[in-house]
Amino acid sequence: MKTKIILLAGLLVGTLDILAAFIDFYIVIGNDPTGVLRYIASGVFGSAAFTGGSVMIVWGLFFHYVLAYSFTILFFWLHKKVTLVSTYPITTAVIYGVFMWIITVLVIVPMSETPPIPFNFWTAIKAVLILIFMISLPLTFIVKKKTYEIH
């Protein structure tokens, strides 16, 4: 049962996050969402992801969900280990959103082949808010709901 919850939660938050990225990309850049997925794929394939065919779009989506599931699994694990997670869900959502952004920007992206993007304070705030509202907040509600159902 817990595996099913984690699988569904990862699918939900991964989908919410990528949809938010697509909408933001369209509003800011004016292009279709394939640019987001190609950028994600460039983490492994470098600049070839931007000129590759539709297979790069699929790879980008795959890598996105790998990260979303990784953060989801970590969240469920932390829920059992850290009492703050279950006691203060809103605070947890904010802290975990900031944590995901820091790990992504300072660890994952530098280790990848993605082209560097100059730091912009407001873009960073928007990215953190997307992570909070699309991933960590839904996860806190899912974990809290499942905790009550188990007891």
Question: pLDDT tens digit string along 63-95?
Answer: 999 999 999 999 999 988 887 777 888 999 999
Say what the pLDDT of residue 1 is: 58
Say what the pLDDT of residue 151 is: 42
Is residue 37 one of the residues assigned to a domain? yes
Is residue 151 one of the residues assigned to a domain? no
Buried b (16+ CB within 10 A) or exposed e, 113-150: ebeeeeeeeeeeeebbebbbebbbbbbbebbeebeeee
Expressed as residue numbers, the domain containing 112 is 2-145
Helix (H) or strand (E) holding 33: none
Is residue 150 one of the residues assigned to a domain? no
Work out how many domains the chain is built from and give that number: 1
CB neighbourhood size of 21 (10 A): 20
Ranges in the chain, pLDDT < 70: 1, 146-151
Closest to 2 measured CA to CA, from 148, 151, 134, 150: 150
